[in-house]
Amino acid sequence: MFSLTISVLGDEDDGLLYRCAGSKADRMLFRFGGKAFFAVVGVFIKSALTAEQCVSTKGQKRMKKKILRTASFALATALSLSVCVSAFVSDGTNNNVTTSVLPDSADNAVLNWATKVGKSWNDGPSPVAIVGDDIVYTSGDKLVRMNKETGVVDSVVGQRAGTNSYAIQPVTYADGMIFSAFNGGIQAFDADTLESLWVYKDSVGGQSVSPIYYNDGCIYTGFCNYGSGKNDQYVCIDVKDEDPDTTDEEKSPKWTFTNKSGFYWAGAYATDDFVVLGMENAKANTTDPARVVTLDKNSGSVIDTKYTVGGGVRSTISYDKDTDAYYFTSNGGYFYKATIDDEGNFTKLDSIALGGASTSTPTVLNGRAYVGVNGSGWGDYKGSVIAVIDLDSFKIAYKAETKGYPQTSGLGVVNENGYNYVYFTENASAGAIRYVKDKKGVTEVLDAQIVNGKKTAPSLFTPTGAQAQYAIADLVADENGTIYFKNDSGYIMAVGSEVEKLVTENAKTVCKEGEAYDASDLKVYAVLKNGAKKDVTDYVTIDDTALTADDDFVTVTYKYGMYRDKTKEGAANTTGVAVSPVETTINVTVLAAEDYDSVKAVEKLISDLGEITLDSENDIKAARAAYDALGDLKEYVGNVDALTAAEKKLEELKTPSSSSEAENSVSSSDVSSESTVSSANSEDTSSATSSAAESVSSADTSKAADSSSKTANNAGAANPNTGATAGVCVAGLALLISGALTVSRKRK
């Protein structure tokens, strides 16, 4: 059973400690701003429950599962530097921009795994969202969680209240909840247990093909009865679970806004005071103008209205802080820039003709915007492009042709050389991931592939065989730079950076003849070409045959990839290139069984010395005698430094002039630990931060916890598409975990 204790920041009026009644495990809640937070060594995980709701039966069950699940992740690390792990930029701009280092060419990108989901269109997967160590998606009437390192599906699933005609949009993760759309409704789930929390059923109904946008405790989404002429609704829903004892209570909207022909793929952007939203025109065609409105955030009433040049808005509204402007596209073939004052009134609406329809949400990055544009038909290379727009001149800088229509939003990142890399899936056979490499001043496609004499956008990865199919899905990336997506094949895929090498820690180098290699303490890390380093201990294989005296190494193998693209100068990539496993070796000395046992016996004598006092003299002498008796085997004793330190301490205790020092004592295990830490610090710091130890003692953590909580709350990043927390910064902590997580309780 895990025990979790939280630091209380401030006095009883500012921060209160709550315990769920009748719990079988300690479940402490830190209440802050009316919400409940879990604190795990200074990192706060926001909960959907208020403290008062926690006393309910359902609340208790949810809290218990959340605590046990969180604790089991072994989140504590030893940090000697400020660490910030980030997936998506936290500005909430709908820009789908990551700070992770993504693969920058096909030559260092690999398909890590591909998992088939469902058997038909009815239960095929939705696009995915990243939630912690998992990716989450819908499949038919189920909400499903999958390990993002392996593609293995979790046995726990959520039961949805309905299904989708088209699984176009990913789920949204925010506030400890997952929000999933079904035809005519929205359902909220607990993010840890996947239990249903509440259900919203729209009074008009229709397809749920618009994204669910989260902002400040509310979600926003729309419905569409395509071509019916109905006044379909766009709704704002408070996400609070008012009745934790009921899993299917029906939610009422905070407000609704109606539009004839509804909202098809249209997504909102919210400020502190107003919401910006586009929609279909009344005839749902590509020629008639459609409305773009600003709505009062609290009431949904219209503040101001503008009209497109032609066609409905089928993109999400994105916002760019540098230009203080809002960007979107229309299926009439235009890119738009809107400026809006603080009261929500439009001051200007500019447009650029793209040359084809666009449903792509603009990715805005460093003075450029990137959108996908449809060509003249469904054939390959029929004029579909990634359009690169310079925002200063407000002109198209150039177009990068693609095999098919890049119909969704791009995934953007800035590399170390200042280039913008923006990645799209294309709605063409195979469903490749293409990208543009760009920055201010560039006027043509860089690193272009030549296909049929044309310069085309380079491909990062191309699915082959069973995975090859058309793709309409946003790309998402994790902190290691791995990109996750699905296509119409029903496969969910993970494309990551190539593994450069494996490194090991805590490897045993002295082994016993006749036994298999003992890997119980071994940690294995994959160092990727993009510089990321991830723990792959659970995914490697080690030869388990009995060791002989002739063995001087053991091999560690990581079978991590399936296939990849390889670039080909002046032509399209070679696809489906097999990936070889990555190996490393551990040098070992294999001792005869009797010799091995003798060495281990001496190591035990040393480790058993414990706290060194004047009474330790005989034990120290016995350990030294046993060590000296080993002869040539002495070099294999791993903790001899602890014996030397114990002898030194004993001499200090026996010296009268050292009376002030005699008040202190040291144990052999302490010395050994210091030696280990010193050794670890000479290695890669990031490796040290990944190792969990057995316990933590904190004399006064109130100030550290206060600093950490502020950092976590300020740096917590939300995926613009999913609302998922993406970055947590923790500075100057040395925190270790085993079964119990403890942070001292302090008050002012």
Query: What would the mean pLDDT of 129-135 be, rounded to a whole number?
Result: 96
Q: 598 with 683, same domain?
A: yes
Is pLDDT at 598 greater than 60 in this prediction?
A: yes
Between residues 400 and 709, which one has the greater pLDDT? 400
Domain assignment of residue 230, yes or no: no
Domain boundary among 662, 689, 716: 689
Place of tokens 């016995």: 622
Domains held by the chain: number = 3
Q: State the distance between the two ends of the chain, measured CA to CA, in whole angstroms.
A: 31
Is pLDDT at 677 greater than 50 in this prediction?
A: no
Q: 51 with 23, same domain?
A: yes
Q: 613 with 677, same domain?
A: yes
Is pLDDT at 3 greater than 50 in this prediction?
A: no
Between residues 36 and 539, which one has the greater pLDDT? 539
Is pLDDT at 737 greater than 80 in this prediction?
A: no
Q: How far apart are CA 364 and CA 387, in angstroms?
A: 12
pLDDT at 82: 26
Q: 577 with 661, same domain?
A: no
Cβ–Cβ < 8 Å for 92, 326: no
pTM of full prediction above 0.85: no
Query: What would the mean pLDDT of 447-469 be, rounded to a whole number?
Result: 95
Domain boundary among 590, 621, 656: 590
Between residues 338 and 82, which one has the greater pLDDT? 338
Q: 710 with 660, same domain?
A: no
pLDDT at 379: 85
pLDDT at 14: 37
Q: 680 with 704, same domain?
A: no
Phi and psi torsions of 556, nearest 5°: -110, 125
**CB-based burial of residue 707 (10 Å sphere; 0-12 exposed, 13-18 middle, 19+ buried)?**
middle
Domain assignment of residue 415, yes or no: no
Count Cα neighbours of 30 within 13 Å in the Cβ-side half-sphere: 28
Sheet holding 499-505, edge to edge: 499-505, 523-528, 533-535
Query: What would the mean pLDDT of 138-160 be, rounded to a whole number?
Result: 96
Q: How far apart are CA 581 and CA 565, in angstroms?
A: 16
Q: 42 with 61, same domain?
A: yes
Query: What would the mean pLDDT of 30-45 be, rounded to a whole number?
Result: 34
Q: How far apart are CA 659 and CA 678, in angstroms?
A: 28
Query: What would the mean pLDDT of 124-149 be, rounded to a whole number?
Result: 96
pLDDT at 51: 44
- Model confidence at 228, pLDDT cuts 50, 70, 90, reads confident
Domain assignment of residue 110, yes or no: no
Q: 66 with 42, same domain?
A: yes
- Model confidence at 686, pLDDT cuts 50, 70, 90, reads very low
Is pLDDT at 696 greater than 90 in this prediction?
A: no
Domain boundary among 590, 609, 626: 590
Q: Using one digit for the tens of pLDDT, what is the confidence trace for 372-428?
A: 999 997 789 999 999 999 999 999 999 999 999 999 999 999 999 999 999 999 999
Domain assignment of residue 658, yes or no: yes
Domain assignment of residue 181, yes or no: no
Residues making up the chain, counted from first to last: 748
**CB-based burial of residue 224 (10 Å sphere; 0-12 exposed, 13-18 middle, 19+ buried)?**
buried
Q: Residue 187 pairs with which residues in a beta bridge?
A: 180, 199
Domain assignment of residue 39, yes or no: yes
Query: What would the mean pLDDT of 63-75 be, rounded to a whole number?
Result: 44
Query: What would the mean pLDDT of 87-99 be, rounded to a whole number?
Result: 71
Q: How far apart are CA 689 and CA 555, in angstroms?
A: 25
pLDDT at 63: 53
Q: 623 with 669, same domain?
A: yes
Query: What would the mean pLDDT of 418-442 be, rounded to a whole number?
Result: 97
Q: CA 412, 44, 269: angle at the middle one, nearest 5?
A: 40
Q: Say how many C-beta atoms besides its own lie within 10 A of residue 459's C-beta.
A: 24
DSSP state letters, 418-454: S-EEEEEE-BSTT--EEEEEE-TT--S-TT-EEETTE
Q: How far apart are CA 20 and CA 184, in angstroms?
A: 36
Cβ–Cβ < 8 Å for 497, 110: yes
pLDDT at 62: 53
Q: 527 with 602, same domain?
A: no
Between residues 481 and 68, which one has the greater pLDDT? 481
Q: 607 with 654, same domain?
A: yes
3-class DSSP assignment, residue 72? helix
- Model confidence at 218, pLDDT cuts 50, 70, 90, reads very high
Cβ–Cβ < 8 Å for 451, 572: yes
Domain assignment of residue 524, yes or no: yes
**Average pLDDT over the chain, rounded to an integer:** 82
Lowest mean pLDDT among 192-196, 420-424, 653-657: 653-657
Domain span including residue 540: 499-590
Q: 511 with 575, same domain?
A: yes
Q: How far apart are CA 169 and CA 450, in angstroms?
A: 33
pLDDT > 90 fraction of the chain, expressed in percent and rounded: 71
Query: What would the mean pLDDT of 477-497 be, rounded to a whole number?
Result: 97
Q: Using one digit for the tens of pLDDT, what is the confidence trace for 299-341?
A: 999 999 999 999 999 999 999 999 999 999 999 999 999 999 9
Query: What would the mean pLDDT of 585-595 be, rounded to a whole number?
Result: 97
Domain assignment of residue 409, yes or no: no
Phi and psi torsions of 465, nearest 5°: 60, -130
